[in-house]
Amino acid sequence: MASALSIPLRTPECIVRIPDAVASVSWAPDSRLAVVAGVGGRLWILDDSGRVVRELAGHNGGAFRALWHPKENLIASAGQDGHVRFWNPQDGQAAGEFPAGGAWVEQLDWSPAGDWLASGAGRVLTLWQPGRGVVHTHRDHRSTLSALAWRRDGARLAVACYGGAHVYDCASGQSVDVLPWKTSILSLAWSPDGRWVVGGTQDQAVQVWEQPFKPGNELAMSGYPAKVRELAWHPSSRYLATGGGETIMAWDCSGAGPSGTSPRLLEGHAARITCLAYQRSGHLLASSAEDGQVLVWNVGKSLQALRQIRLDSAVTALAWSADDRTVLAGTHDGSLALIRTPAG
């Protein structure tokens, strides 16, 4: 099998550094700006040339995530002060906040249309809406919430904790389903077509629940060398890319689904994979690893990576711009790399 290491190294179009390890990156809907959360708590706004245009106060004690609203000029962030905060990216000023129910807020995600914001703080799930504030709060989960995943229409939210995932109807705020698993789910992703909910587990497997879920129809894909924290869906829902080691496993979920099939193995990383991200409407998959390597793939066409970039530190965050033209990668040493992508 061809190795991605045979591909000539490319230089990122721009590298800028912030004085902190990168916790998350997120693009504005017009792809002209991006927000970066530092582990120490500050937030930075970059333009698409890599210039830092603004620094925001962020969170005392540390930040976990900062996410741009999918359609509007608004940023939500979460951190170790127990609050979700909102920011005006034009002037960097605070635009509101709410206590999320725990000492720290590790999980945060906008619904695809931006009409809901979900946060997870310890065992507490909070659902917030623009113009209404906090609408629903759930405190009765068995353990700390470890992942969130929205259905594409924003009507349902899956929430992972020990023992599986709970599915909530956002309009009523009620739990409408429980997707069982014997231990902890570390990552969660809902396929764009709504057919599959998948979870990466602490016991080195990927659990699959077809929707609507019927008990006994669970599917576990095991044999991963490490805990599975990285999941990414192709926008068509055909391919599910998974990490959990140095090799990307891409499962074909079309037709009858992945049961009884073997994945496409994408080999090229020499260190554990840290991030996976598919384009929003294209065919390209970006992957990164602990050794600073970033690869770009077209899973449906080739097992050979299209592009290889090497950064100086472990990549901790990775995101495509809304126009699918640029990958922003953030690292443990505070480097931010803008990577223009090849044609798919």
Could you give all domains of the chain from N- to C-terminal order, each with its CATH number?
4-340 (2.130.10.10)
Residue keyed to tokens 């901790």: 316
Q: Give the residue-averaged pLDDT of 30-55.
A: 97
Q: Tens digit of pLDDT for each residue in 53-66?
A: 999 999 999 999 99
What pLDDT, on a 0 to 100 scale, did the predictor assign at position 3?
A: 44
H or E stretch at 5: none
CA proximity to 254, closest of 301, 297, 193: 193
Confidence tier at 115 by pLDDT (50, 70, 90): very high
Are 141 and 120 spatial neighbours (Cβ–Cβ below 8 Å)?
Answer: no
What is the rounded CA–CA span in Å between residue 77 and residue 258?
36
Q: In which region does residue 316 sit, left (phi positive, over 0), alpha (psi from -120 to 50) or beta (all else)?
A: alpha
In sequence order, what are the residues at sequence separation of 6 or more whose Cβ sits closer than 8 angstroms to the Cβ of residue 237?
Answer: 191, 192, 193, 195, 196, 253, 254
CA distances from 331 to 25, 235, 242, 309 (A): 10, 26, 20, 13
What is the rounded CA–CA span in Å between residue 322 and residue 119?
23
Q: Give the residue-averaged pLDDT of 217-233.
A: 94
H or E stretch at 36: strand 33-38
Q: Which residues pair with 287 in a beta bridge?
A: 276, 295
CA proximity to 166, closest of 135, 129, 139, 193: 139
- With 90 as the cut, is the pLDDT of residue 7 above it? no
Confidence tier at 5 by pLDDT (50, 70, 90): low
Q: Tens digit of pLDDT for each residue in 143-202?
A: 999 999 999 999 999 999 999 999 999 999 999 999 999 999 999 999 999 999 999 999
DSSP, res 343: P
Question: Cβ-count burial of 344 within 10 angstroms (0-12 exposed, 13-18 middle, 19+ buried)?
Answer: middle
